[in-house]
Structure 1
C-alpha cells in the first residue's frame, strides 16, 4: 500500500486526536490546568523516553513514545490557540514553509552534488532567516555539553570551517592528549593545577568529539552504549556476588574482576 493511499486514514486519525484534545481541555480538570510552562518538563521527559526506546531498538515503544510527543505538540498548539497566538494549522503551515525554503534543491533551481552541500545550504538559509550575528547563535544554551559540542562543530562545518582530512583531526587529538598529560602527570603524586588541567581535558574531549563526527560516529550514542554496557556488567557483578553470599564493599578488586570478566564472556 502506497503512502498516498494511506493518507485518508492518517488524516482521520489526526482529526480524531484534535477532537480528543478539545474534549480533554474542556472537560478534564488536569488538562484544563496545564500551561506551556507546566508541560515543559514533561515534554523533556517524554523526549528522553523516546531516546531510550530508540537505543533499545524497541519499535513498539518507539511508536508509543512518538504518540506521547505528538500529544504534547497538539497540547501546546491548543494552548497557543486559546491565547490567540497560533494553532496546529499555523504550526504545520510554518513548518511546511520552512522545509520548502530550506530545500531549494528540491523546490527551487539550486543544484547540489551531495549531502554535505545540502547541510551547508541549510545552515546558510537558517542564518539568514534568524538574523543571527553568529553562525553559532542558534545553538541552544541549555543543551548538554557533549551534544552542544557536536552541534557547534556541525554548524561551523556548514560554513566551511572544518578539517579536510581525518588524519589532521587525529593529530589534533594527540596534540590535546599531550597537552593534558603535561598538566596532569598520571605517575607523579605532585599537586596539579586543576583549573588548567580542566581546561586541557575539555580541549581533549572536544577534539575526540570532533574526530568521532569526522568518521561518522555519534559520540553521544557511543557513550550511552558504553554506559548501558557498564550498567549490565556491574549489575551482573552485584547479582553474582550476592549469589555467592558476598558483599561488594567487603570484596577486593581482584575478586570483583573475576565476575566482571565472566560478564564480558557472557556478552553482558
Structure 2
C-alpha cells in the first residue's frame, strides 16, 4: 500500500459516514466546529502531558475533523481536501521566504516579524488586528491582539514594563474592591470591579506572552494542579479519619498544604 493509503482510506470513510450515518448526514460546519475545538484542546492536553500514544490518538480525531469539514466544502462546490492542502502548502511556502527564497531570518523572533509583514504586504490584509477571530477563548484572544500590537512596535522594551503593569493593575483592583465590597451571591458584579479585573487579566496575559508562556496552557495546568491537590488533601484527611469537606477553612488548608508537599515530593522522585 502506498504512503497515502491510510489517508485515502480515511477520506473514503468520511464520505461513507456522511452518506450512511444519520448523525453525520445532519451535520453542518456550524454544528461540527464545537467538536473541532474540543478535539484541538484534547490534542493540547495530550501534548502537554507528554503522552505520545494519547497524542497520536487525539491527532487522529482532529484529522478526521479536517476531513469532514473539507467534505462539507466539497458539497458546496467551494473546494475539497486537495484544495485545503494545496492552499496551506502554498501559504507556508509564501510565508517562509527564509527557507524557500533568499530572505534571511536567523531567529524565531525575526521569523514572526516577517510572517506578519508578509500577511500585510503580500496577502492584502489591512489593519493591525486583521482576521482576529472573536470566538477565540479570552486568554488566547488577549494574547493574539497583544502580538498584533507588538508586531507594529507597540510593546514593552523590557520585562520590567509588563511586570510593573501587573502590580499597578493589582493595586487598582484592590482599590475598587475596597470601595465596592463583595456583592451578594448571584447578583451582577460591580462594573468598575469587573473592568479592573479584566485589565488585570489582560496584563497577566501580556506578562505571560513576554516570557513565552501560553496563558491558556498555564491556567489549565494550574487548574489541574489545584484539583489534584484538593483530591489528595481529601484522601489524606480520610486516612486520618476526618471528613475534609466538613472541616473549617483552617483544617482544610492544613491538609491542602500537606497534599501539596506530598505531591511535590512525588514529582521530584
TM over 0.5, shorter chain:
yes
What TM-score do you get using the length of structure 1 for normalisation? 0.85
Show the counterpart of 1:194.
190
Question: Quick check: 2:245–2:252 contact (8 Å CA) kept in 1?
Answer: no
Residue of structure 2 aligned with 1:105, choices 65, 88, 98: 98
Give 1:132 deviation, angstroms: 4.1
Correspondence list, 1:190-229, <5 A: 194-229=190-225
Supply the distance in 2 between the matched residues of 1:152 and 1:189 (Cα, whole angstroms): 30
Q: How many residues align?
A: 259
Question: Quick check: 1:150–1:209 contact (8 Å CA) kept in 2?
Answer: yes
Is residue 2:253 matched to residue 1:257? Answer: yes
Show the counterpart of 2:85.
92
In structure 2, relative to structure 1, the CA distance for the partners of 1:130 and 1:142 (3 Å cut) is farther
Question: Quick check: 2:232–2:259 contact (8 Å CA) kept in 1?
Answer: yes
Give 1:91 deviation, angstroms: 0.6
Give 1:9 deviation, angstroms: 4.8
Supply the distance in 1 between the matched residues of 2:103 and 2:154 (Cα, whole angstroms): 22
Supply the distance in 2 between the matched residues of 1:61 and 1:178 (Cα, whole angstroms): 43
Structure 1 SS opposite 2:4 = helix
What TM-score do you get using the length of structure 2 for normalisation? 0.85
Show the counterpart of 1:238.
234
Question: Quick check: 2:29–2:69 contact (8 Å CA) kept in 1?
Answer: yes
Give 1:86 deviation, angstroms: 0.6
Q: Which runs of 5+ in 2 are unaligned?
A: 184-188, 265-269
Q: Which runs of 5+ in 1 are unaligned?
A: 1-7
Structure 1 SS opposite 2:165 = helix
Give 1:15 deviation, angstroms: 1.8
Question: Quick check: 2:180–2:190 contact (8 Å CA) kept in 1?
Answer: no
Show the counterpart of 2:267.
none
Show the counterpart of 1:179.
172
Show the counterpart of 1:12.
5
Question: Quick check: 2:173–2:197 contact (8 Å CA) kept in 1?
Answer: yes
Show the counterpart of 2:52.
59
Show the counterpart of 1:26.
19
Structure 2 SS opposite 1:177 = helix
